[in-house]
Structure 1
């Protein structure tokens, strides 16, 4: 084996280790950006709309998607270059985080829909109460005549 090949192998090994480190760092950054379980569960709101607004804010994934994208990019490069000896743990972590982020995004969308629907529902219910009060007043007026 020539000296150049040995040097190339060492460089490739270093590059592979750096790629794995990059993937792991981006996975850690992804996890750090995800909402804390207590933020999603606990609330200090006084009404339903406050709860929904707080939950919607808590379900923000921040830069998690971008960090996961970077992890996927470096993982894909490492896999295609056959740089990883065993990357099953990285693939599983990427998949788990991908599913979790999608679940959080779906929940965020559902909460956003409710945040828009609840005030409309309240307004409709209040309008219904006002209509009933007006109907009752009209019935009393008719009865007095």
Structure 2
């Protein structure tokens, strides 16, 4: 079967993926234009296939043991703009157009920016970390 420039070779992509022992691939979700990291989710082969062919991000929920397509219940949709495997094939970067919040808490991103923030006076940032 031939593919054009807009149709991904999903089988070819899946052959390059190194899923973990649990059958999952970590997927970093990033806003395509600002490069803001929004969240991390996990995909099995079927979730990755759906993501690449449907143009919306689908994850495998480890806690619920089911597929979930981002935005189906919240309306906070992630439209796929681009995707890339890392050099080892064991992590996926998905660039998206995020509509609404990415985090289930209602925040724009799932990542808390103040864990290590020089503005907060962290010891590591000030060069006083214990040796």
Question: What TM-score do the two structures reach when normalised by structure 2?
Answer: 0.21
Higher relative contact order (CA 8 A, sep 6+): 1
Q: Which has the higher helix share?
A: 1
